[in-house]
Chain A
Amino acid sequence: DAKTTQPPSMDCAEGRAANLPCNHSTISGNEYVYWYRQIHSQGPQYIIHGLKNNETNEMASLIITEDRKSSTLILPHATLRDTAVYYCIVRVGGMNRDDKIIFGKGTRLHILP
């Protein structure tokens, strides 16, 4: 089973901020939160990741709650090209022998013109 829970779909108006939630209530102290997205049937694309601090890059911001049990990916000004399936995963950092990765079903984000 996936270690994360996401809503199956969301809509967002073009130009507005898209806020995608993710629940990871069983996250361990050494697990990072990662976000990827997949446009059509292309290979998934990395967006951002974090451990406990909020992170921002040129694509998005990641807000992680203080207890680390949930997070939100923010696309500040959504465009039609942001229409994709967004995956939230948790993954252990470091040289871990058991580094199986579980993606789950993700959130299908529709950007509305």
Chain B
Amino acid sequence: EAQVTQNPRYLITVTGKKLTVTCSQNMNHEYMSWYRQDPGLGLRQIYYSMNVEVTDKGDVPEGYKVSRKEKRNFPLILESPSPNQTSLYFCASSLTGTFSYEQYFGPGTRLTVT
């Protein structure tokens, strides 16, 4: 089944403790992206990647890191989480190329930083 998976789905952590949220897709998509969603603010893009070893900042990259060493994986790293990073996070992927393609979203990761 074509899908985007995220782990963990729920995470409660403390300020300053490094964490990684994994994202994996099995559709051979070039484009991958991370979003955060907060009440009243909609979906905001954190980072995106056009392909392996190519990453770019989205609208709200501060406090986050990403890497794209393999096509299928795009982990989101919070080196020193803070309470303002408490949010619902979504990973997404899509094809790129001559035409434009829809994004497939993962189920979300609910992160709480205390």
Most chain A Cβ neighbours within 10 Å, of B41, B90, B100: B100
> CB-CB < 8 A to A44: which residues of B?
43, 90, 92, 103, 105
Give Cα distance in the complex from A62 to B96, angstroms: 22
A33 shortest CB reach to chain B, Å: 10
> Interface size bucket, A side?
20 to 34
Mask: chain B, 54-67; 1 = CB below 8 Å from A; 0 = not: 00111100000000
Contact with A100, one of B59, B99, B104, B110 (Cβ below 8 angstroms): B59
- The answer to the question of B53 belonging to the interface, with a C-beta cut-off of 8 Å to chain A, is no
- The answer to the question of B88 belonging to the interface, with a C-beta cut-off of 8 Å to chain A, is yes
Is B45's CB under 8 angstroms from A46's CB? Answer: no
Classify the secondary structure of A's interface with B.
loop
Is A46's CB under 8 angstroms from B104's CB? Answer: yes
A95 shortest CB reach to chain B, Å: 6
Is B50's CB under 8 angstroms from A97's CB? Answer: yes
Is A99's CB under 8 angstroms from B31's CB? Answer: yes
Contact with B58, one of A32, A96, A100 (Cβ below 8 angstroms): A100
> Interface size bucket, B side?
20 to 34
- The answer to the question of A98 belonging to the interface, with a C-beta cut-off of 8 Å to chain B, is yes
> CB-CB < 8 A to B42: which residues of A?
2, 87, 103-106
Give Cα distance in the complex from A29 to B14, angstroms: 47
A95 in contact with B48 given A42-B107, A42-B108, A100-B59 (CB within 8 Å): no
Which residues of A are in contact with B by a Cβ distance under 8 Å? 2, 32, 34, 36, 38, 41-46, 49, 51, 87, 91-106
